[in-house]
Every structure is written in structure tokens, then in C-alpha cells.
Amino acid sequence: MGSIEPLLELMSELPKRDPARQAELFQSAKDAAALSPTTSNRLKYALALATPGHGGSDPVAAQRQLSELLARPETLLTVERLLALVELQEVDQMLVLQAENKQLREDESHDSRDKLLAVNRRLQAESDENAKLRKALDEARAKLDAITHIEGSIKSRGTAESHTP
């Protein structure tokens, strides 16, 4: 178990530390893997990539790194292989969930856009209907005013004729 203690410690400490310390821990693992690409250093870097909660977390890169390490299982100790397998399963699940989440957001956005378009079409139709009704109301008022004017003319003529002997 002693060989994976530093790996487990890194995975535990990365998300807990302040951003500067996170960056330092992550960069140390990355540099070790680049400068001395032993299986242990590469595994440590892959696990750092897989650990969520810090700026260097990259599940896609972690998946690739872990898959490469597991492609040659004989280079890993049994406990390292088990840890890598478990972490790869976690990363795979995280990527599936991220893809589903993205799809749900896109679907929601698409549904919202469709609903907005439908509401806008309905609003436009109601605005057009209101404009027609206003025009019909204006025409009815104009006719009513004309009738009122004609009635007034008739009354004033009737009053004028009744006063003439």
C-alpha cells in the first residue's frame, strides 16, 4: 500500500488547497511526468488530471493517460493497476455525465428557443388581430359619427320646418 500513498495523498490534497497550492501540486506532477516519465510519475500525473476541483483537472486527458497506462498493465503494480482502473471508470462516468448534462442544456435551450418563437408568433398574431379590431372600431366610430351627424341634421331640419308657418 505504501506505493500508492503519495498518489492518494495527491488526489486528496489537490481539491482542498488554495488555488496557488493546487497549481503548485499539479505542476509538480506534470513536470515529473515530463522530465522523468516513469510509470509512477505518469500515473501520478494522470490521477492529478482526473481529480476534480482544481484548475488543472482535465477528464479527457486523464482518460487518455490512464488508458495508455492500462494498455501495458505489466508496467503497473497490482495496486496501481486497480487504482488506475477505478479512476478510469470514474473519469468515464464523469465524461458521460458531462455529455448528458451538455445535451440536456442544449435541449433545454432549443426547447426554450422554440417556446419563445411560438410565443412571439402568437404575440404577433394577437397584435395583428388587435390592429384589425382597432381599424374596425375606428370604422364603426366613423359610421356612428356619420349617423349621429345625419340624425343631427335631420333633427335640425325638422325643428326648422316646424317653426316655419
Report domain extents, the chain: 5-99
- Confidence (pTM): 0.63
What percent of the chain is modeled with pLDDT above 70? Answer: 94
Do 76 and 69 contact (CB within 8 A), yes or no?
Answer: yes
Grouping H, G, I as helix, E, B as strand and the rest as coil, residue 14 is: coil
Is residue 147 predicted with pLDDT exceeding 60? yes
Please tell me the number of Cα atoms within 13 Å of 51 on its side-chain side.
26
pLDDT in tens, 80-110: 999 999 999 999 999 999 999 999 888 887 7
Buried b (16+ CB within 10 A) or exposed e, 12-45: eebeeeeeeebeebbeebbebbeeeeeebbbbbb
pLDDT at 1: 45
pLDDT at 130: 81
